[in-house]
Amino acid sequence: MNPVHDSEIRDIALAPEGRRKIDWASAHMPLLAQLREQFQQERPFAGKRVAICLHLEAKTANLALLVQAGGAEVAVAASNPLSTQDDVVAALVDAGVTAYAWRGATDEEYHRHLQRLLDFHPEAIIDDGGDLITTLHRDRPEQLAEVRGGCEETTTGILRLRAMEAEGALKVPMMAVNDAYCKYLFDNRYGTGQSVWDGIMRTTNLLVAGKTAVVVGYGWCGKGVAMRAKGLGARVIVCETDPIRALEAVMDGFTVMPLVEAARQGDFFVTVTGNRDCITRPAFEVMKDGAVLANAGHFDVEISKPDLRELAVSVHEVRHNIEEYRMRDGRRLYLLAQGRLVNLASGDGHPVEVMDMTFALQALALRAVVQGDFAPGVHPLPRELDERVARMRLAAWGFSVDELTPAQRAYLASWRA
């Protein structure tokens, strides 16, 4: 395969700017640097074809280059049509990775890119949201036997994998990287928390302090989004369907109420549920003039765009990545990044150090899948890999921790003491 000839990208001439972004991220990814040294010696992926379907920006590029340094032939496609950074993809191709992605791909182009990635006949897969794995099972069952296994990055992907597993439809082993502690406790919470507000603020240039932020979904991502909204000086309302999570929000100091009530009060709305139709017509009908709507969940179905279009008398882009929906009564509702993940479609995604941890997990999980002999199904990441990544991150920041003594270990493992 010749990456420059086989790739479908916007413009290879963008490579130098992409390289600068990759290098900046790399300089702040000490965990991947350590793994690169190890993988360059051990070559755990020697001769293997690895397909990566993730948000294609600078941190992901460093993961792709790490897998390549471990001996793999690597091809990438985007896990979302609006999150691709064309300069980063150009730099990847320049570095010998085959890529099928450009920013703003149509639905048809997005799915063609996934098909092209499967034409590469991957033996291992890193997926984000489950589009590549579901396409493989639906359209290429004859290739399933070639795939040794893969890793899944996000909550939505794990939900889809578990649904496939429950029906007996999942035919390859998949490591649930999202469910590792070192993933969701940090990436979903602190990563999404910070980058969502970064995306909203850089897109709108509006003040958050003194406003009301409505966070829809108080899972791992929602907790981070609410926490950072509070830190920015917003009054935070949480909307939930799970009573336990709602109670947690109350005890964390937030106001909880049904969405239609919160709709009247919010200045900013952030959906982060992994579910569909979380903000729909009844809420749009009572929102304040100027309300800003952003989604951070994996798919663009959390804020109902069909309902918004039906209610609007006009829709137009008033600033890059901000669409104004003007209602019949003159109110204006502003949708960011077409309802796609605001932190990636309208920003650079999670902070670098967080993705250093997540992608260290991905690299170690991929190695485990390629070298192990797992049955088809969803597998938890082995605890020792989770702990290894936590120790690496602590060490990189100069922290060390106490060790249990043998007597303490025995005490904790005993019921007689």
Phi-psi region of 398 (alpha: psi -120 to 50; beta: other; left: phi over 0): left
Q: Alpha-carbon distance 10 to 328, whole Å?
A: 39
Stretch touching ligand NAD by CB under 6 A, among 204-212, 240-248, 323-331, 396-404: 240-248
Stretch touching ligand NAD by CB under 6 A, among 25-33, 100-108, 215-223, 249-257: 215-223
Phi-psi region of 266 (alpha: psi -120 to 50; beta: other; left: phi over 0): beta
CB of 157 to ligand NAD, least distance (A): 7
| Choice between 208 and 216, CB closer to ligand NAD | 216
CB of 163 to ligand NAD, least distance (A): 14
- How many residues in the shown chain lie near ligand NAD by CB under 6 A? 29
Q: Does 85 bind ligand NAD (CB under 6 A)?
A: no
Residue indicated by tokens 């099928």: 100
155 in a labelled binding site: yes
Annotate each residue in 257-276 with x if it binds ligand NAD (CB under 6 A) or - if it does not, as one string. Answer: ---------------xxxx-
Nearest alpha carbon to residue 63 among 364, 266, 381: 364
171 in a labelled binding site: no
Helix (H) or strand (E) holding 75: strand 73-78
Is the CB of residue 73 less than 8 Å from the CB of residue 48? yes
DSSP string, 154-180: SHHHHHHHHHHHHTT---SEEEEGGGS
Q: Does 278 bind ligand NAD (CB under 6 A)?
A: yes
Helix (H) or strand (E) holding 312: strand 312-319
Helices (H), 168-257: 181-183, 192-204, 220-231, 243-251
CA distances from 380 to 126, 319, 374, 388 (A): 15, 43, 11, 15
The correct pick among 241, 255, 265, 280 for binding ligand NAD (CB under 6 A) is 241
CB of 299 to ligand NAD, least distance (A): 7
| Choice between 38 and 255, CB closer to ligand NAD | 255
217 in a labelled binding site: yes
3-state secondary structure of 407: helix
Q: Does 176 bind ligand NAD (CB under 6 A)?
A: no
Annotate each residue in 30-69 with x if it binds ligand NAD (CB under 6 A) or - if it does not, as one string. Answer: ----------------------------------------
Four-residue CA torsion sign, 307, 262, 204, 83: negative
Q: Alpha-carbon distance 272 to 283, whole Å?
A: 16
Q: Alpha-carbon distance 50 to 124, whole Å?
A: 5
Q: Which amino acid is at 335?
A: L
| Choice between 66 and 278, CB closer to ligand NAD | 278
| Choice between 68 and 154, CB closer to ligand NAD | 154
The correct pick among 37, 242, 317, 387 for binding ligand NAD (CB under 6 A) is 242
Write out the binding residues for ligand NAD, residues 312-371 only, by CB under 6 A.
Answer: 341, 343-344
Q: Does 151 bind ligand NAD (CB under 6 A)?
A: no
Interface contacts to ligand NAD, rule CB under 6 A: 154-156, 184, 188, 192, 216-222, 239-242, 245, 272-275, 278, 296-298, 341, 343-344
Residues within the annotated binding site? 128, 153-156, 183, 187-188, 217-224, 240, 275, 296-298, 343, 350
Residues within the annotated binding site for NAD(+)? 154-156, 188, 217-224, 240, 275, 296-298, 343, 350
